[in-house]
A and B are shown apart, each in its own frame.
Chain A
Amino acid sequence: MSKKIPYLILAPGFILLIFFLLIPLVSVIWPTFYNGSFSIESYTSFFQDSYNVGIFIRTIRVSLIVTFICIILGVPTAYFIAGTSPKWRGLLMAFTLFPMLTNSVIRSFAWINLLGQNGVINKLMSSIGLISEPLPLLYTEFSIIIGSIYLFLPILIITLVGVMENINPEIMEAAETLGASRIKAFIKVVLPLSIPGIIVGSVLVFTGTLTAYTTPQLLGGNRNMMLSTFLYQNAMTLGNWEDASVIALIMIITTLLVMKVFNLIANRIDKRGEQDA
């Protein structure tokens, strides 16, 4: 049998990816560097515009806040799910999966219903006399944040349940027998062992929020653009392909950078764990 065969069966996918992913990407991004001569002017001038910088910073800020709140909400929930009996765990995992598999348009639409001028939250607050005029909740950065948390919290929970299930429950019991309170045992034992999972989940939430299109488009309005909606607007509404391509590369680099940094942190923590052991 020839050694060429594995390459032969890899070839179709490889060629398709080169022709329909790599070449289109390069053809879009190359002109931002080369226009008769090589320069990075497209990028320096992009970042000299405070409007563009504002969108870039908003995207990073929203992604950070969303990741942080998802961790706060997701870690205890995942811990709770991992601690239930297998039957309950299956049911709760299915409950977590369901929103995750529901279309992001529907999930954003749900928050339009809740946050709108005549939305559930405004009506509820005015009926109990908390507010006299509806609060502008929709089309704000706040609505993007809450919509994104709603979008990515299930991913973090599912990632973490997998990690926490693998922590030996006897470790917890040992800690408690030795006199640690449950909360202390959680903070000292379970949390450190879950950190690799928290990091993996955080990368998914952060890059997901960074690149999400539907939620900022439907919940953010035109005044609260994020990089992905800005890219779409430049490409399809304004016909400004130069800027669209610049945003495309910025998004790719930011995503890769975030993954790299989180991986570095994860590796460092893993090594420390080995030394401790």
Chain B
Amino acid sequence: MRKQRGLSLFAGAVFAFLFIPLVIITITAFGENSTIQFPITGFTFKWFTAVFENQSFIDSFLLSLKISLLATLLALVVGIPAAYALTRHGVKGKDWIKNFFLSPTIIPGVVVGYSLFQFIVIRLQVPLFHGLLLGHFLISLPYIIRVVGSSLEQLDFSIEEVAWTLGSTKFKAFTSIVLPNISSSIFASFMLAFINSFNNIPVSQFLSGPGISTLPTTLMNYIEYNYDPVVSALSVLLMLGTIILMFLIEKTLGLAKVV
């Protein structure tokens, strides 16, 4: 396709719009002043040190990691067999069940968080940690169902049938034939669900309390009362984390397949 100057300029401006705000954050993370200034005066790493000296950032980062990993693993364990059953077997009301499994993406996050908080935490007195874990499980599950489901639909069913005819049990065929063949989509769905769970605010906001607060929630509450380059520094660290994850996805299966 031939290039068109007007179109290139337009797209360039859109990319500038997408990146300039993030570039400004990155620059302000190195300024010496104790309030955020742009352009910056001086150059320092002290705000990065300050991030690691802030115990609530460290604690909430560890909690975020734990919640996101556990929730995503639980979603994999529950979601992969469900996606398999939905694509391979003549389940009655298949579309209905599939929509039900995908419904956490349709219900607004604040509503999921609010109803979990009110019913699970307040009425049933379930500890916040478990509420948080369940909330994150709910928002992770649709990614697993969708990504694993679509790769199962493309997988040639006959290789599994061959294994059955050769005397393999259904369980054995599933674990040794089907799972390895969809491993890249399992990884992709895991990464997508993990990133989404790690970044989630609306569900987490309702289910946080003393000592139980995910990193984005802690950061958000911090921003409402403080305006200093520590936030910029933490943002830069989180963006670096995102770049590393994107790099890992690209190396293992290509970003294009994830989206």
Asked whether A76 and B201 contact (CB < 8 A) given A94-B246, A218-B223, the answer is: no
A17 touching B103, Cβ below 8 Å: yes
Please name all residues of chain A whose beta carbon is closer than 8 Å to the beta carbon of B79 when the two chains form the complex: 13
A113 touching B115, Cβ below 8 Å: no
Asked whether A158 and B38 contact (CB < 8 A) given A105-B216, A182-B4, A252-B108, the answer is: no
- Bound complex: CA of A220 vs CA of B48, how far in Å? 28
Please name all residues of chain B whose beta carbon is closer than 8 Å to the beta carbon of A98 when the two chains form the complex: 239, 242-243, 246
Please name all residues of chain A whose beta carbon is closer than 8 Å to the beta carbon of B3 when the two chains form the complex: 83
Distance in angstroms from B83 CB to nearest chain A CB is 9
Q: Among B36, B100, B206, B235, point to the contact of A232 (Cβ < 8 A).
A: B206
A120 touching B24, Cβ below 8 Å: yes
Closest to A80 in B: B11
Interface of A is mostly: helix
B201 touching A213, Cβ below 8 Å: yes
Closest to A73 in B: B14
Interface residues on A, range: 35 or more
Using a Cβ–Cβ cut-off of 8 Å, how many residues does chain B contribute to the interface with A? 84
Interface status of A71 (Cβ within 8 A of chain B): no
A158 touching B223, Cβ below 8 Å: no
Interface status of A262 (Cβ within 8 A of chain B): no
- Bound complex: CA of A259 vs CA of B216, how far in Å? 29
Please name all residues of chain B whose beta carbon is closer than 8 Å to the beta carbon of A118 when the two chains form the complex: 35, 37
Interface status of B245 (Cβ within 8 A of chain A): yes
Distance in angstroms from A105 CB to nearest chain B CB is 5
10 contacts between A and B (CB under 8 A): A6-B88, A6-B90, A9-B85, A13-B79, A77-B15, A101-B246, A105-B220, A113-B232, A116-B227, A248-B111
Chain A positions near chain B (C-beta within 8 angstroms): 1, 5-7, 9-10, 12-14, 16-17, 20-21, 23-25, 27-28, 73-74, 76-77, 79-81, 83, 90, 92-99, 101-107, 109-114, 116, 118, 120, 123, 150, 153-154, 157-158, 162, 169, 172, 182, 210-214, 217-218, 228, 231-232, 235-236, 241, 244, 248, 251-252, 255-256, 259
